[in-house]
Amino acid sequence: MVIAELNYYEELFSVRNKIVLVTGASRGIGFELATNFCKAEAHVIGIGRTEKIKSNNFDYISADITKRNDLINIGETISSKHDKLNIIVNSAGISSSPLINDNNYDFDKILKTNLTAVYECCVTMLDYIKDGGSIINITSIASYFGFPENPGYISSKGGLSALTRSLAFDLSRRKIRVNNIVPGYIQTSMTSDSFNDIDLRKQRESRMLINRWGQVGDLVGAAIFLASDASSYITGADIVVDGGWSIKGL
């Protein structure tokens, strides 16, 4: 009985032999997700702008997802080596905090990377993803709230959240599910300045019901769930992984 139940749960949450594309896979959240999909016995293609990465157990392609030709080449490479994709994880993202009226702040670059490139990736990969597949977008609690000195990041993540709902509607005819993982404060190179500032770190931790910063590994369970048959009736939804930060009242 115990063995039968274990096999049931293993199959329900299984991504074994699934073909998974992960953008932003050279570091941070994307690297962690790509690595753990491999541990779950999926076949993973990781994409990143870094030319080479030191340690990985997945196929890695150096490419710039803001360039349509790079996306087309990625699709053709996948088609030549694998069956069609089952899962796309859009994890690539950038951030920059300007001063007020900073003329050097590249608002367009942030939107192009965090929002437009995700749309282009999804559209380009439609020829290479199976009906019944799953697309997982990594947004942020910044898609819900206002934060200071980060207009490009907040706008891009808010737009990405809305894009997910739009794509969930449009791709439902192919039974492709599209969902968001919504991280809170996760310790990565992107958040290192505020994490290393003791006052800022404590300020952020004071709102967390689970009283610690998130680690990239905290997002793995949500990603496996959304990629697997366990979430087969979920689309256009948000899974918030923020230690309770966003729901704390007084």
Which residues are known catalytic residues?
Answer: 153
The 10 Å Cβ neighbour count of residue 17 is 10
Q: What is the dihedral of CA 149, 182, 73, 127, to 10 degrees?
A: -130
What string of DSSP letters covers 57-118? Answer: SSEEEE--TTSHHHHHHHHHHHHHHSS-EEEEEE-------PPTT-TT--HHHHHIIIIIHH
DSSP tag of 19: E
Q: Pull the structure tokens for residue 55.
A: 């340690």
The 10 Å Cβ neighbour count of residue 120 is 18
Q: Compute the half-sphere exposure of residue 185: CA atoms within 13 Å on the CB side of its CA.
A: 25
